[in-house]
Amino acid sequence: MPTLEWIGKKAVLNHHKEVPFRLLKTNEELSAGAPDCGNLLVQGDNLEALKALLPYYAGKVKCIYIDPPYNTGKSDWIYNDNVNSPETKDWLHKVVKSEDEDLSRHDKWLCMMYPRIRLLKEFLSEEGIIFVSIDDNEVSNLNQIMSDIFGEKNFLANLIWDLGTGTAAGHFTRSHEYILTYAKNKSILRNFSYIGDEDKISERAVKKISKGNPASQITFPVGMEFEGKDATFNGVYGNSEKIRIMDSEMKFVDGKLINEVTIEAGWAMRNQILSWISGQDTIDSKGQIVTKFFFDKKGVLQYEKIRGFINPQSVIRGIASTRKGSALLEEIMGERKMEFPKPVELISYLISLITTPESIILDSFAGSGTTAHAVLSLNNKYGSNRKFIVIECEDYVNTLTAERIRRVIKGVINSKDPQLKVGLGGGFRYVELGPTLFDAEGRIRPEITYAELAHHIHFTETGEPLSETGLSTAPLLGISKGSAIYLLYNGILKDKRANGGNVLTKAILERLPVFDGPKIIYGTACRLGQKFLNERGITFRQIPYEIKVS
């Protein structure tokens, strides 16, 4: 595969490994809504923020969307589009060192992007997907480094988003942008559950269906449940969408409707195939023959049999324009705060293609907070529990990014959107980057808690985040590759004496949760001989000297 070379490349290829782990500290005053909702807004350089989040979220994110600087050379945007911000210059000087003065703006952009995308890949689940918005200035360079990091085989598409407007750019009017799309592992990726024809779906369609109507001859798949007058669809992907029974309960005999009912459904049918299985037809991860139900423009229930899923088009038209994104942000904030933010509808569309109601969505270039807004909007509309993690380093993070999210949670009184007017609900924790785990002398900082060190050790030892079970059964963090991992630190065994529960002795060993196999035990000291350890399959790692720092 051809490779891309640029000034400073050698300095950044493995820089993500050198970034130190930092602590994450919640700012309660700047947070909003329910504190335990699982949503995070992180203030700080996104490279350091991503590294700090990695022990908690590696391999757990289903969808990443980022809208990085397009590197157009403009410097008058609030979102510094020419990557010449003081933070970026300082980072280049520290990392790339002497080469940074010679970098062209394309080299600088690549140096900035490469380690960040490299870290982002580690967050994706095996079925995860990353979407990256970009324009003509860097699309070819971005495609090269994305293929280098994710592999050419995991390229899905270079989506073209029709902006719905145009800007004069040389000989042509630029009326589109790109969204580069890569999978973590394309070979196991399920097809997108998108019906595809938006014109067939009305916003709130209501239709009376009666016995004798062929469309009524339906049976429930596994997971369809009745709760009063609401039938909740829990399909093979864990989706949960409401089909409201308006005036009576559906009654079936041998899978056939025997009474007249009125049903109501929303546009979720466009984004999640809301299929009822007809007869012996089935649906699985590969896509078999299914019966697709939809409402036409007149609100009449229609159906047709299709084989497998209908893929969404690579050209995105009619979703929303950049002007709509600007108008919405101005409506929320009461003034023009940023030019051309992405519209909520576009991000909602991308998220809904691949996520389930419990998915985590990550955006490390949060900007005005559109991704967080989109997640909250989907949750409000469909009763889902998607979670967002958004990161922003610019000085407007509190006054714009966080403030927008606070307002859409609480409600925007002057909004024309009824949903937004009353508020989307939910909440988020405002998180700031704290100090590193280790001080300049390599000692663990005294304020480090057991939980913080446990997350770090488990991740560096296994490459996977620590589960809540790992903390609840401390000092046993978990089992990885046939070995049990233990941490003796900060008086976890209720003995904070210098030679107490943090030191491995025969007495302490007997108090550890039993595991019949190899053990890796972290502690401040060990009073057991190497022969004794070898006979019992114990590997002792001394804190702090044998804790990996990256």
Task: Express each pLDDT in 279-329 by its tens digit.
Answer: 223 333 333 334 444 444 454 444 444 434 456 778 888 777 878 888 899
pLDDT confidence of residue 258: 52
Q: What is the 3-state secondary structure (H, E, C) of 38-54?
A: CCEEEECCHHHHHHHHH
Q: Are 461 and 485 in contact (CB under 8 A)?
A: yes
> Given a cut of 60, is residue 173 above it in pLDDT?
yes
> Given a cut of 80, is residue 169 above it in pLDDT?
no
In the numeric block, the tokens 């001080």 are attached to 439
Condensed to tens digits (0 to 9), the pLDDT of residues 220-275 reads 333 333 333 334 333 322 333 444 444 455 555 544 445 554 444 433 333 333 33
Condensed to tens digits (0 to 9), the pLDDT of residues 179-235 reads 999 999 999 887 665 433 333 332 333 334 444 433 333 333 333 333 333 343 333
pLDDT-wise least confident of 77-81, 151-155, 469-473:
77-81
Confidence of residue 499 (pLDDT cuts 50, 70, 90): low
CA distance 404 to 407: 5
pLDDT confidence of residue 78: 53
* pTM reported for the whole predicted model: 0.76
pLDDT confidence of residue 259: 54
> Given a cut of 80, is residue 462 above it in pLDDT?
yes
Q: Report the chain's C-alpha Rg in angstroms.
A: 26
CA distance 55 to 20: 12
Domain edges within the chain? 9-191+314-436, 198-307, 450-542
Higher pLDDT, 203 or 413: 413
> Given a cut of 90, is residue 171 above it in pLDDT?
no
The residue-averaged pLDDT of 59-69 equals 95
pLDDT confidence of residue 309: 45
Asked, as a colleague might, if the bond just before 513 is cis with ω within 30 of 0, I would say: no
The residue-averaged pLDDT of 421-430 equals 94
432 membership: H or E segment, kind and range: strand 427-436
% helix, strand, coil for the chain, step of 5? 30, 25, 45
Domain 9-191+314-436 has CATH 3.40.50.150: yes
The CB-based long-range contact list for 454-461 (8 Å cut-off, 24+ gap) reads 454/487, 454/489, 455/55, 455/56, 456/21, 456/55, 456/547, 457/485, 457/487, 457/522, 457/547, 458/55, 458/485, 459/54, 459/55, 459/58, 460/55, 460/547, 460/548, 460/550, 461/485, 461/520, 461/548
> Given a cut of 90, is residue 105 above it in pLDDT?
no
Q: In sequence order, what are the residues at sequence separation of 6 or more whose Cβ sits closer than 8 angstroms to the Cβ of residue 391?
A: 41, 42, 43, 44, 46, 49, 50, 363, 364, 365, 366
pLDDT-wise least confident of 88-92, 120-124, 179-183:
88-92
Condensed to tens digits (0 to 9), the pLDDT of residues 335-393 reads 888 778 899 999 998 998 888 888 999 999 999 999 999 999 999 887 889 999 999 98
In single-letter form, the type of residue at position 320 comes to A
pLDDT confidence of residue 183: 96
CA distance 362 to 348: 13
Confidence of residue 426 (pLDDT cuts 50, 70, 90): very high
Asked, as a colleague might, if the bond just before 544 is cis with ω within 30 of 0, I would say: yes
The residue-averaged pLDDT of 386-406 equals 94
| Three-class DSSP category at 244 | strand
| Three-class DSSP category at 252 | strand
pLDDT-wise least confident of 163-172, 176-185, 495-504, 533-542:
495-504
pLDDT confidence of residue 158: 96
User: Mean pLDDT across the chain, nearest whole number?
Assistant: 77
pLDDT confidence of residue 311: 65
Confidence of residue 432 (pLDDT cuts 50, 70, 90): very high
In the numeric block, the tokens 């529960």 are attached to 501
pLDDT confidence of residue 419: 87
pLDDT confidence of residue 142: 96
CA angle at 382 for the pair 377 and 386, rounded to the nearest 5°: 65
DSSP 463-511: SSPPPHHHHHTTTEEEEETTEEEEE--TTTTS--STTSTTEE-HHHHHH
In the numeric block, the tokens 């609840």 are attached to 472
